[in-house]
Amino acid sequence: TRLVRKGRLRSPPSVTTSKVLFETVQKKFRHLDREQFAVLYLDTGLRPIGFKVESVGSASQCLVDTRLLLKDALVAGASAIALFHNHPSSERSPSAEDRNLTARIHKACVSVGIKLIDHIIICDSTFFSFADSCELNPNM
């Protein structure tokens, strides 16, 4: 997409690990004073085709509309998505709300045939990956 072509987003050939996902968007999320929630759209080869900040919240929470998130992914032609948000508090662990949101989005993705490959929580120079923690299943 336009964001990838203009060099605003590092574009690896394919995104296959949480570390590559983190490195792809880390600079956009480090040192923010409010939570932001974003989606990386991927093609069938898990190559980035777009990126969108879906929501900007407060210092401790961010509201995400699952229907709009999926609509944007479908319009972008995404076969897969990766979710990102930051924790300005630098608390790496996901909250109960983070887990509930991830489960809700994952179930919605399954229903429309989009693969949710990960949800990354960014805290300065470190991150938490739902996929690496085996927390990406529809019955979380």
- pLDDT (tens digit, 9 = 90+) per residue, 42-75? 999 999 999 999 988 765 667 889 999 999 999 9
Check residue 124 and give its pLDDT.
Answer: 78
* 139 has a pLDDT exceeding 50: no
| pTM assigned to the model | 0.84
Q: Assign 3-class secondary structure to the chain.
A: CHHHHCCCCCCCCCCCCHHHHHHHHHHHHCCCCCCEEEEEEECCCCCEEEEEEEEECCCCCCCCCHHHHHHHHHHHCCCEEEEEEECCCCCCCCCHHHHHHHHHHHHHHHHHCCEEEEEEEEECCEEEECCCCCCCCCCC
- pLDDT (tens digit, 9 = 90+) per residue, 1-22? 444 554 555 555 688 899 988 8
